[in-house]
Structure 1
Amino acid sequence: MLLSCGDALIDFLPSRTADGREALTPAVGGSCLNIAIGSARLDVPTGFVGGISTDTFGKMIADHAAASSVDLGRATRSDHQATLAFARVTGTETQYAFYDADTASRNWTYRRDAIGLDGVTCLHTGSTTLVHDTGATETLAFIEDIRPKVTIALDPNCRPNLVKDKDAYRTRMLAFCAKADIVKMSDVDFAYLFGDEAYTDRAEALLSAGASLVVITRGNNGASAWHRQAGPIDVESPVVKVVDTIGAGDSFQAALLAALHRLNRIARQQLREISAAELTRALSFACKCAAFTCTRAGADPPRSRELSADYW
C-alpha cells in the first residue's frame, strides 16, 4: 500500500458562465490528495493521511476520495473548515491564492501508534503541509517513525506565496530531502529552491545525502532523473492539446509511484537495484499520465481503464 500525507482542499478553478462572464468552479484538490487519487486510479492500494473537514467542502473531499477508492481510515476528520485555494492560469503555470488559517489541514497532528502501517511500502509527502511549522514538524515526526521500514517520497511542490522566510523554507526542504528515497520536483520548484544551479550538481548532492532517485519534471520537455545505480535518464513528454496543467505534476508523481509498485521496485532495497530500462519505463509512463491529465480541466488524473496498452 501507498500512503500520501499532506493537503486536501478545494480548488476554485477559472471558468465561464453561459453568457461569457468569468466564474469560479469548486473542485477537490490538494497535491497530496491528488497523488493518492492518481495512484488509486492506477490500481495501487492507496490511503490518505491528513486533516479533512466535516463541513460541506470536507464532505466533497471525502466523497471524491472514496469514489477513487482512496482509503481514508487514517485521515483525521474535524470541524475546522476546509482549506480553499483560488486558481488563476498564467501561460503554462497555475498560480494560487490560499485560504488556510485554522483549517482541518493546518490542524492535523500525527497520532503516534494510531496509523496502521501493515502492508505499507511507501509514504509520499510534500506541498503546503510542509510550509507551516506545525505541519512540517508533525510530518517529520511521522517520517522519523516509519522511515526504517517504508520508502519515503517527497515532492516539495513549492508555494512561494505561502512562504514567509525563503531561507528557512529552503533549509526545511533540504532537511526533508535528506530523509527521502525519492525526490521529485518541477523545474519551477528547482529554480525557486536552487536558482541557476545545474540540475546534475544538485541531483548528485541529493543522492550523496541518501536519496536513491531524483527527478526533475520539465513540462513539455519531459523529465530528467538521476539514480545511484541506473545513472542519468531523460524521457520525453508526449505532445497533447493542453486544456490546463492543473494537477499534472501530481499525476506524474502518482504514476511514477504506481509504476514502481507495478515493477516491484517501490521498496527501498528494490528501488536501489532498479535497472535503467525499468526506470525509463516508469518515467515514460509518468510523463504520459501527466500529459493525459493536461487534456482535461482540473486535477483529474487517468484511471487504468482509460489508458491504452501503449501507455505502459
Structure 2
Amino acid sequence: MPAPETPSASARAAGNAVLTVIGESLVDIISDPLHPDAGTAHPGGSPLNVAVGAARLGLQTSLVTHYADDRHGLLIDQHLQANGVRVINGGTTPTSTALATLGPDGAADYTFSITWEINGAALPALAAVQGSTHVHTGSIAAMLAPGDQATLALVQAAREHATISYDPNCRPAISPDAAAARRQVELFVASSDIVKASDEDLAWLYPDRTPDDALEAWLDLGPAVVALTRGAAGPVLLSRSGRVELAAESITVADTVGAGDSFMAGLVSGLAQLEGLGTHGRNRLQKLTADQLESLAAYANRAAAITCSRRGANPPNSTELGPLPAQLAGRGRTP
C-alpha cells in the first residue's frame, strides 16, 4: 500500500480543510473463488475507506467510528494510525466483519456481522464535527440502529460549521426494507451539500425512476452536487449549472473493492482544492461551472481507477493522483 508521504502542493492545499468522517470500521475478509488459498483480512468499511483515501490526499482527517480492543480492532487501528487518520472510537461491542466474495469481474458481494453505535464518544464526536470544515458520512452508519440517529444528529449539528457529503452505499442484506431505507436516505440527502451514489444504489432505492430522474429529485432536496458512479460505464456529476458524463478509464481491473470510496475521497479532495468546502465555500459550491464539474469528475474517476487496478481498498496518495488541472482549480477562486 502507498506509504504516508511529504505532501505535494495540491495536498497541502487540500490539507487546509479539516475533515471528519462518521461511520463504520470493519474487517473485510476477502474470498476469491479463483484463488481459494488467498483469502485475506483487510481493514474496511466505506467510511473508513473514505477517511484513509482523504488522508492520503492531504486532508486533515478524523474518523468517528466503532471497533473493539480485539484482533480485528487492532488491525483497523494500525491501518488508521499508519495513514494519519485521527480516531474517535465510540463503541464497545466486538469489531464488525464483512465477508467479501469476489465474482469473475472483480465485483464484491458482502455478508456482514456488524453493529453500529458511537454513544461512547458523544462529546468528542460533537467537538470534532463542530471544528471541521467538512463532514462525510454514509453506508451502514446512516442506516443501522442504534447509531444511525446519532449519526444524523452529528450531521445536523455540523451544518452551521461545515459542508456535508453523503454516500448511501446501500446494503440490502443489512437493511432489506427499501421503502424504509429510501426515507432514511432522503433525510441525509436533504442535510447534505454533496451526495454520491452508485447505479446499484439508485436501482434498488428507485426501481421506477431512471438514474437521471433520481439525481434530479435529490438536487431538489437541497444538495449542490450529486454524483453517480456506474462502474465500467464511468461517472456522472450533476449540479444546477450542468451535467457531466465521463467514460471510465481504461485499466486492467484487479477488483473493485473500495473504488466508490476512493471516488468519494477524490471528490472531497478536489472540492477542497477548489475552496468549495466549509461555510465560506458553500456559496462557491453552489456556483461550480461545467468545466469545474468535469475536472472534479475526472479527478475522482482517476482515484477510483487507480484503486481498481490493485487488489483491495488501496486508494492513491496525492503523488499518484496529482492535483486538479491548475487552470480549472484557479477558476474556483473569487477575487
Could you say whether these structures have the same fold, taking a TM-score greater than 0.5 normalized by the shorter chain as the test? yes
Q: Distance in 2 between matches of 1:129 and 1:162?
A: 11
The structure-2 alpha-carbon separation of the partners of 1:21 and 1:90, relative to structure 1 and needing over 3 Å to count, comes to: closer
Q: Distance in 2 between matches of 1:135 and 1:309?
A: 36
In the TM superposition, what whole-angstrom CA distance separates every residue of 1:149-206 from its partner, at most 9, and x where no partner exists?
A: 2111010001111114221111111111111111110001110111141222222221
The sequence identity of aligned pairs, in percent, is 35
Q: Residue 225 of structure 1 aligns to a residue in which SS?
A: strand
Q: Residue 297 of structure 2 aligns to a residue in which SS?
A: helix
Q: Select which of 78, 86, 98 maps to 1:63.
A: 78
Q: Distance in 1 between matches of 2:192 and 2:32?
A: 38
Q: Distance in 1 between matches of 2:322 and 2:21?
A: 26
Q: CA RMSD in A?
A: 2.1
Q: Is the 8 A contact 2:302 2:321 kept in 1?
A: no
Shift of 1:34: 0.2
Q: Select which of 87, 96, 102 maps to 2:100.
A: 87
Q: Residue 204 of structure 1 aligns to a residue in which SS?
A: helix
Unmatched 5+ residue regions in structure 2?
1-17, 327-335
Q: Distance in 1 between matches of 2:65 and 2:323?
A: 34
Residue 264 of structure 1 aligns with which residue?
275
Q: Residue 277 of structure 1 aligns to a residue in which SS?
A: helix
State how 1:163-312 maps to structure 2 within 5 Å.
163-228=175-240, 230-267=241-278, 268-307=282-321
Q: Residue 54 of structure 2 aligns to a residue in which SS?
A: helix
The answer as to 2:46 corresponding to 1:34 is: no
TM-score (norm 2): 0.85
In the TM superposition, what whole-angstrom CA distance separates every residue of 1:57-83 from its partner, at most 9, and x where no partner exists?
A: 1111111011111111x333x542100
Code of the aligned partner of 1:49: V
Unmatched 5+ residue regions in structure 1?
none
Which 10-residue stretch deviates more, 260-269 or 301-310? 301-310
Q: Distance in 1 between matches of 2:188 and 2:324?
A: 35
In the TM superposition, what whole-angstrom CA distance separates every residue of 1:93-126 from its partner, at most 9, and x where no partner exists?
A: 31101011xx4xx232261465334651111111
Code of the aligned partner of 2:299: F
Shift of 1:240: 0.2
The structure-2 alpha-carbon separation of the partners of 1:134 and 1:118, relative to structure 1 and needing over 3 Å to count, comes to: closer
Code of the aligned partner of 2:247: E
Q: Is the 8 A contact 2:254 2:311 kept in 1?
A: yes
Q: Select which of 137, 154, 161 maps to 2:166.
A: 154
Which 10-residue stretch deviates more, 27-36 or 265-274? 265-274
The structure-2 alpha-carbon separation of the partners of 1:124 and 1:256, relative to structure 1 and needing over 3 Å to count, comes to: same
Q: Distance in 2 between matches of 1:3 and 1:209?
A: 23
Q: Residue 86 of structure 2 aligns to a residue in which SS?
A: coil
Shift of 1:310: 8.7
Q: Is the 8 A contact 2:190 2:222 kept in 1?
A: yes
Compare the two structures and name the one with the higher strand fraction. Answer: 1
